[in-house]
Structure 1
Amino acid sequence: MTDTTTATEPTTREQAAEAAGGERADLLAVLGKCRHFLRFTTRDLTDEQVGLRTTAGELCLGGLIKHVSSVERGWVAFILEGPSAMGDFDTMTEADFARRADEFRMLPGETLAGVLADYEETARRTDELIAVLPDLDASHPLPKAPWFEPGARWSARKVLMHIIAETSQHAGHADIIREALDGAKSMG
């Protein structure tokens, strides 16, 4: 097989982040570490195990990864398209809320390999966008929702920091769920 890459064409997400340099490389490196710890909680588990609820809540390991992937895709769409990409909370239907709830659980036919592959593809697209985005300060108004401050705007930088925070928070949730499942920990 012939290698068709050149010095100006990064071949991995890490190379794309490094090529972006500075702040972007730092932000993508932190996000990459958070993603690693979230994925790491599923090591050596079966499809059935990643669908188990081990706490009083609805969360399972596969569902957390599905949710983080969906959230990341939504925020990347917001960076590109603005608030219309996320929809208006006031117009959400019961079916919309049910689809959102399905993000937190493994559905029949879903596999850990499939969930991880989807997450990897989501991460790849995010990393590539951040590496080439012309301006991290470009902003859009947030969509109307009870959890957003009315009239607030978020820059691409703030969105990326939110994705990092969301991923980190859910990696912590995943660690608790995994420890309750079989005693394994991500760290320590």
Structure 2
Amino acid sequence: MTETPSTDAAATLSREHADLLQTLAMHRNFLRVTTQGLTDEQARLRTTVSALCLGGLIKHVTAMERLWVDFILEGPSAMPDFNAMAETDSAEREDEFRLLSDETLAGVLAEYEAVARRTDEVVATLPDLDVDHPLPDAPWFKPGVRWSARRVLLHVIAETAQHAGHADIIRESLDGAKTMG
């Protein structure tokens, strides 16, 4: 499980860098805890009227964290063509939120761990959280808006926390376990 950077690494981080990484680590942990002790089949189950399942939430958060860190490093060229995605097969997009039959919970958790390590390394080496890029063209972004690395990290933290809450509800609906309280 990814925690905050090692003591040596943390000593070289600014307080802001360390605070952001610690907050992200906490919310990642909340999300991961919702899957403890589950089988792959349980991680695939939809337990509410939502199409979300625990394995799918881990996949989604992993993909979004990877994408946003790529944005920090490369700018809008790292992002998909969101306008073309609107025309993509909706079943394909829905699969991004499902744990498919050829996927395992252990596998998606391992991928999440790898993405988390990469994010932590990137953030730890950013000399300046003010570095920014224009957001890509998308129906939900105002034209001309720029996001700093700081703003991107706050977005990743917010999305991780939001989905950890979703996961908590799904887990409680699955077997009564309360992972966040």
The unaligned stretches of length 5 or more in structure 1 are 1-11
Distance (whole Å) between structure 1 residues aligned to residue 116 and residue 26 of structure 2: 12
Post-superposition shift, 1:91?
2.6
Equivalent in the alignment of 1:66: 59
Equivalent in the alignment of 2:153: 160
Could you give the per-residue CA deviations for residues 156-184 of structure 1, whole angstroms, max 9, x where no partner exists? Answer: 00000000000000000000000000000
Distance (whole Å) between structure 2 residues aligned to residue 138 and residue 85 of structure 1: 16
Distance (whole Å) between structure 2 residues aligned to residue 17 and residue 149 of structure 1: 36
Task: Tell whether 2:112 aligns with 1:119.
Answer: yes
Residue type matched to 1:181 in 2? L
Is the 8 Å Cα contact of residues 171 and 177 (structure 2) preserved in structure 1?
yes
TM-score by length of 2: 0.92
Distance (whole Å) between structure 1 residues aligned to residue 59 and residue 11 of structure 2: 27
How do 1:6-85 and structure 2 match up within 5 A?
A: 14-15=5-6, 16-85=9-78
Distance (whole Å) between structure 2 residues aligned to residue 107 and residue 148 of structure 1: 31
Q: Secondary structure at the match of 1:45?
A: coil
Distance (whole Å) between structure 1 residues aligned to residue 98 and residue 11 of structure 2: 35
TM-score by length of 1: 0.89
Residue type matched to 2:126 in 1? L
Is the 8 Å Cα contact of residues 13 and 124 (structure 1) preserved in structure 2?
no
Equivalent in the alignment of 1:94: 88
Is the 8 Å Cα contact of residues 13 and 128 (structure 1) preserved in structure 2?
no
Post-superposition shift, 1:87?
2.3
Post-superposition shift, 1:53?
0.2
Is the 8 Å Cα contact of residues 64 and 174 (structure 1) preserved in structure 2?
yes
Is the 8 Å Cα contact of residues 4 and 22 (structure 2) preserved in structure 1?
no
Is the 8 Å Cα contact of residues 137 and 155 (structure 1) preserved in structure 2?
yes
Distance (whole Å) between structure 1 residues aligned to residue 44 and residue 65 of structure 2: 21
Could you give the per-residue CA deviations for residues 116-135 of structure 1, whole angstroms, max 9, x where no partner exists? Answer: 00000000000000000122
Residue type matched to 1:94 in 2? T
Give the greater-gyration-radius structure (CA).
1
Report the number of matched residues. Answer: 176
Aligned match for 2:141, one of 145, 148, 151: 148
Is the 8 Å Cα contact of residues 140 and 153 (structure 1) preserved in structure 2?
yes
Query: CA-atom RMSD, angstroms?
Result: 1.4
Task: Tell whether 2:118 aligns with 1:128.
Answer: no
Distance (whole Å) between structure 2 residues aligned to residue 99 and residue 70 of structure 1: 14
Distance (whole Å) between structure 1 residues aligned to residue 27 and residue 40 of structure 2: 22
Q: Secondary structure at the match of 1:104?
A: coil
